């Protein structure tokens, strides 16, 4: 069974640009959550999608958005990039979120210059 796949693994962008990150969940999983992790910091929750609907949202500005497709694959978009957006972006998939097992991808390392 394939794990959670995130693409790309590494990305370098310039301030002001926008970026789209992709996450393919484990087959059969309908929940995808996104997290931001900066060096030495914990996991900051961005949002969760379940069956194409945003079900939970963290405390991030509107520049951060996401969506989920009918095959459960998810994308997150960050517009008008700032230096502080440099981080490891992680997605986690689970069967239905909440109290079911969640598995993380390897993450996308975004560097904003």
Partner 1 sequence: QQQVKQSPQSLIVQKGGISIINCAYENTAFDYFPWYQQFPGKGPALLIAIRPDVSEKKEGRFTISFNKSAKQFSLHIMDSQPGDSATYFCAAGTGFQKLVFGTGTRLLVSP
Q: CB-wise, 79 or 106, nearer to partner 1?
A: 106
The C-alpha angle 77, 91, 76, rounded to 5 degrees, equals 10
Q: CB-wise, 15 or 27, nearer to partner 1?
A: 27
**Residues sharing a CB contact under 8 Å with residue 42, sequence separation 6 or more, in sequence order:** none
User: Is 106 an interacting residue with respect to partner 1 (CB under 8 A)?
Assistant: yes
**Residues sharing a CB contact under 8 Å with residue 40, sequence separation 6 or more, in sequence order:** none
CA 113 to chain centre: 20
Pattern 9-48, binding to partner 1, x per CB under 8 A?
A: ------------------------x--------xx-x--x
Q: Which residues bind partner 1 (CB under 8 A)?
A: 4, 6, 33, 42-43, 45, 48, 50, 55-56, 88, 90, 92, 96-107, 109
């Amino acid at each position: 069974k394939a794990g959670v796949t995130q693409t790309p693994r590494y990305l370098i962008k310039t301030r002001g640009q926008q970026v789209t990150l992709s996450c393919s969940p484990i087959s059969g999983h309908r929940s995808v959550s996104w997290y931001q992790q900066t060096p030495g910091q914990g996991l900051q929750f961005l949002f969760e999608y379940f069956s194409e609907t945003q079900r939970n949202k963290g405390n991030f500005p509107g520049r951060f958005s996401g969506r989920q497709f009918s095959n459960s694959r998810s994308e997150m978009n960050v517009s008008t990039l700032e230096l502080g957006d440099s981080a490891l972006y992680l997605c986690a998939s689970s069967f239905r979120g909440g109290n079911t097992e969640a598995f993380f991808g390897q993450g996308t390392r975004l560097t904003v210059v």
